[in-house]
Amino acid sequence: QQQVKQSPQSLIVQKGGIPIINCAYENTAFDYFPWYQQFPGKGPALLIAIRPDVSEKKEGRFTISFNKSAKQFSLHIMDSQPGDSATYFCAAHITSGTYKYIFGTGTRLKVLA
């Protein structure tokens, strides 16, 4: 119930393409959904986040789409660039009975020049 399922495991797109990474959850107590970008040898960096009362959020080239009824959310990267090649993690935050973040398994994105 506290899992966050992330797909795909890896993704290759051409420069300018729009990679989409999907996450799904079961626990309706999750109340905040961040996405992190991680480059090799670095800690994860917060990219964008959304709360379940919002269906879409955009920040620059990054968009989160949120479907509360389906318990799914996704990250879209517009006009992807080779510099976006990294591993992306979705996460879900819970405060009910505890305070923690549950992470997805990660998606390794490669954007070809």
Partner 1 sequence: SAVISQKPSRDICQRGTSLTIQCQVDSQVTMMFWYRQQPGQSLTLIATANQGSEATYESGFVIDKFPISRPNLTFSTLTVSNLSPEDSSIYLCSVVLANTDTQYFGPGTRLTVL
- Residue 30 or 79 having the CB closest to partner 1: 30
DSSP 53: T
- How far, in Å, CA of 10 to CA of 30, rounded? 25
Residue 69: CB minimum distance to partner 1, A: 23
Residue 3: CB minimum distance to partner 1, A: 11
- Residue 46 or 54 having the CB closest to partner 1: 46
Mask 17-56, x = binds partner 1 (CB under 8 A)?
A: --------------xx-x-x----xxxxxx--x-------
Residue 106, amino acid: G
Q: If you compute the radius of gyration of the chain from its CA atoms, what whole number of angstroms results?
A: 14
* # residues contacting partner 1 (CB under 8 A): 21
Residue 16: CB minimum distance to partner 1, A: 27
Strands 33-38 and 86-94, how do they pair? antiparallel
Q: If we measure between CA atoms, which residue out of 57, 76, 82 comes closest to residue 18?
A: 76
Could you check whether the bond before residue 8 is cis, i.e. omega within 30 degrees of 0?
A: yes
| Binding footprint of partner 1 on the chain (CB under 8 A) | 31-32, 34, 36, 41-46, 49, 89, 91, 93, 99-101, 103-106
